Structures are given as C-alpha cells and as structure tokens.
Amino acid sequence: MTTSAKPNPSVVNSRIEGMRDMDPAERRDVIAAASGIDATSAAALSGDSSLPLSVANGMIENVIGTFELPLGVATNFVVNGKDYLVPMAVEEPSVVAAASYMAKIARAGGGFHTSSTAPIMRAQVQVIGTGDPFGARAALLAHREELIEMANSKDTVLTGLGGGCKDIEVHVFSDSAIGPMAVMHLLVDVRDAMGANTVNTMAEMLAPRVEEITGGTVRLRILSNLADKRVVTASVRVPTDALTTKTLTGADVARGIVEACELAIIDPYRAATHNKGIMNGIDPVVVATGNDWRAIEAGAHAYAAQSGRYTSLSRWEIAKDGALVGTLELPMAMGIVGGATRTHPAAQAALKLMGVTGAQELAEVTVAVGLAQNMAALR
Ligand code: NAD
C-alpha cells in the first residue's frame, strides 16, 4: 500500500488519470497517495471489516450484522480553488462517473464556488393550552436573554467553541385543530456537529421554564430538520466551449439544460426527479462520511417546498457572455463530530480522504457534488 506522511490538502491533485482501468486495490493505493491518508485509514476504506461487529453493536439495537455498499471516489473536484477527492457510498451505477466527468468540465472554468451561513439549527418547543398564544409569545420574547443563558448553561464544550443558542423566535398558530399554539424556536450554532442531540437537549431543558413563563403545557421539544438557517450555496460557471459534444454545439447544450431546469422550476412532477438527481450526488457523500442522510433529505425537500410550491433546488442560466451558470442552494446539517462520523472507522477515513477540517467545508464540497450531479443529469 502506498502511503505518505500527514496530508497537506492544498497539494492534493484530484485529477487522476486512468482510474477506470485499475482494480480496486490499485485505485485505493493511488487515492491514498494523492490524499496522503495513512495505511490504517486506507484499510478502513477497503470494506474488509471496515465496521467491526462490536462497533456496529454499539451503534443501533438488535444488531445481527453489517450492510455493505460500494464506496467510490469522485475525482476532478475543485471547490474554492482547492482540490478534493470525494468519497461516495452508493449502489447506483454511473453516479460516481457522472460527478467526476462534470467536475472535469467545471475544472476547466475554475471549478465550483461555494459559501455557507453559520451552522444554525432550530429546535422547536410546542406550547399548547394557553388561550393567548400571542401573549405567550410576548412573554417568551420578554425572557429571551434568560432563556438563551439557560440553554447555554450545560454545553460548555459547544459554547467554548463559539457555538450555542444565539436567539429565539416564537411562531404562533392561532387556528390549529387543537386550539391556539405558540412554538418557540431555539436558534443554536452547533459548530462542527450535525446538532440534533445538542439542540434536543437544550429544548428539553427549557421546557419547564417555558411552561412557567407561558402558563401553557409543553408538548414537543425537538429539532426541526428544515435547517433553513444553515444553508449552503454552490455555483459553477461553464464556458460554452466546454459543453460541446459530437452532435451539439456548446450553446445548444447550455440552452437545453436551462430549458430542462425550467420545467423543474414550474412543475413539481419534474422537480421531484430533478432534485432526486441532485441528491444522487449529495447522499453518497453524506453516507460515506457517516452523516444522517434522512436529515439531509428531509431538509432538502422541505426547503424546496418553502415557497408553498415544491420546486427545483437549483437554477441554470445563460450569462451575458454565453457561459452556462448553475447554482444550488439547500440546508446542510452535516457534522464531523458526533453520531457515526466518529464511531464508524470508514467515515473517519472518508473525512480524512476529503481533507476537510470543518463541518461547513464538508457541507460546501457536498453541495458542489450535488450541483455536478444535477448538471450531469440535465446534460
Ligand atoms: P453529539 O451530541 O454526539 O455531538 C455534539 C456535541 O459534541 C456537542 O453538543 C458538543 O458538546 C460536542 N462537540 C465537541 N466538539 C465539537 C465541535 N467542534 N463542534 C460542535 N460540537 C462539538 O451529536 P449531534 O451532532 O448533536 O447529533 C447528531 C446525531 O443525532 C446523529 O447521529 C443524528 O442521526 C441524530 N439524531 C437526528 C435527529 C433528526 O435529524 N431528527 C433526531 C435525533 C437524533
């Protein structure tokens, strides 16, 4: 096995020729050398006892074994000027090849550019039985500082890292089928965590005080997977020349992509398939890094419907100079601490392979892969 010293992600070259003609062990050697991961990490990605039964037994209940998926590596990705090799765990053929090919095309135009908001998650605390939900809202907002301080009193690790509860919101549903309701949201910066356990614990802790303040009864106290304050945006700009095929000009291909996207924007039947194509890129990275793909899926589709009509998560346009410009925006509750990201040895190795140092960087690269996959499907 070829390995090298501590990785220096800035010198990783994700442009690897001839991967298709290698066998899995050769590919793993080449990827390990290119990314600088150590032999233990490379072995953890091999699939041979990657998840020991004893570890699996501690992860969920009634364990009888482990379940394997193929793990591939997408090549050619450049995101914000940095090269990435991207691990993808997925059962569907063509996904890894399509992502790699689109990343190659994008690379010629400078690759992908991304940005993200702070990693703010929401927890909801449902208050019923007050009769005056707007009064309850006003009372909770009047206690904002006290509630934030209380929420932050336990997780000193998180607050020490600059995270923690930053604000509260109170939403009112005055005409629900079970009577008026006030729903307090905790807005929590969860730093490098996915954050579900973190915010659930805070919401749980505040419940008795919320009942005292409102005179109501607290029912649900749990995170929202519609992480609309933890949003990643990726964009790509592809010169038309790079899109030319044997039978079509680059301008024709660009126009076709824009026209196909338009149907997804206006028609939920198409949008569902269009967004599935995006998730073909995102989910395999989420799975490979031990993240919660149900949370990512729930957040993505809820975000796609936030205007009241389910629509495309991406937009494709033709810029003034004729270049094809694609953008993708969605919530990304991904972590590099907590959950399976820490307990699954292959997930740990996958994070090392990517060379990401924080949850936001991981989320941004993952959304770039989603955009590449979307472009591949439309093309
Ligand atoms: P966690 O509680 O294991 O880890 C988070 C904690 O790690 C923080 O509260 C903090 O104390 C500590 N920490 C150490 N270093 C940190 C850093 N750099 N940044 C942030 N925190 C740091 O995990 P979690 O992320 O709160 O929860 C994730 C798990 O919750 C996943 O396994 C997910 O599947 C599960 N979950 C999901 C849902 C849902 O999506 N609806 C509901 C419940 C549980």
Which pLDDT tens digit goes with each residue over 142-165? 999 999 999 999 999 999 999 999
Residue 320 vs residues 240, 317, 324: alpha-carbon distances, Å: 12, 10, 10
- Of the pLDDT bands very low, low, confident and very high (cuts 50, 70, 90), residue 334 is very high
231 Ramachandran zone, left/alpha/beta (phi>0; psi -120 to 50)? beta
Residue 281: count other Cβ atoms within 10 Å of its Cβ: 30
CA pair distance 75, 370, nearest whole angstrom: 14
Please check whether residue 375 is in contact with residue 281, taking contact to mean a CB–CB distance below 8 angstroms: no
pTM of the model: 0.95
For residue 155, give the amino acid letter: D
Please check whether residue 185 is in contact with residue 170, taking contact to mean a CB–CB distance below 8 angstroms: yes
For 53-79, write each residue's pLDDT tens digit.
Answer: 999 999 999 999 999 999 999 999 999
* Confidence at residue 49, expressed as pLDDT on a 0 to 100 scale: 77
Ranking 1-5, 80-84, 237-241, 336-340 by mean pLDDT, the lowest is 1-5
Please check whether residue 170 is in contact with residue 137, taking contact to mean a CB–CB distance below 8 angstroms: yes
Ligand 1 pocket test: which of 155, 166, 194 has the largest number of ligand atoms within 8 Å of its C-beta?
A: 194
Tokens of residue 193, six digits: 């965590």
Residue 189: count other Cβ atoms within 10 Å of its Cβ: 22
* Confidence at residue 50, expressed as pLDDT on a 0 to 100 scale: 85
Only one residue has tokens 């019923």, namely: 128
Q: Is 295 near ligand 1, meaning CB less than 6 Å away?
A: yes
Q: Is 158 near ligand 1, meaning CB less than 6 Å away?
A: yes
- Is the pLDDT at 12 greater than 80? The verdict is no
- Is the pLDDT at 120 greater than 80? The verdict is yes
- Of the pLDDT bands very low, low, confident and very high (cuts 50, 70, 90), residue 6 is very low
Q: Is 155 near ligand 1, meaning CB less than 6 Å away?
A: yes
- Is the pLDDT at 363 greater than 50? The verdict is yes
Residue 305 vs residues 21, 56, 239, 261, 273: alpha-carbon distances, Å: 43, 36, 31, 16, 14
For 251-301, write each residue's pLDDT tens digit.
Answer: 999 999 999 999 999 999 999 999 999 999 999 999 999 999 999 999 999
- Is the pLDDT at 4 greater than 90? The verdict is no
CA pair distance 244, 335, nearest whole angstrom: 38
Residue 164 phi/psi, 5-degree rounding, is 115, 180
198 Cα to the center of ligand 1, angstroms: 5
Mean pLDDT to the nearest integer, 221-231: 98
- Is the pLDDT at 10 greater than 80? The verdict is no
195 Cα to the center of ligand 1, angstroms: 4
3-state secondary structure 139-180: HHHHCHHHHHHHHCCCCHHHHHCCCEEEEEEEEEECCCCCCC
Question: CA triplet 268, 119, 283: central angle to 5 degrees?
Answer: 45
| Atom of ligand 1 minimally distant from the CA of 341 | 32
Q: Is 161 near ligand 1, meaning CB less than 6 Å away?
A: yes
* Confidence at residue 11, expressed as pLDDT on a 0 to 100 scale: 56
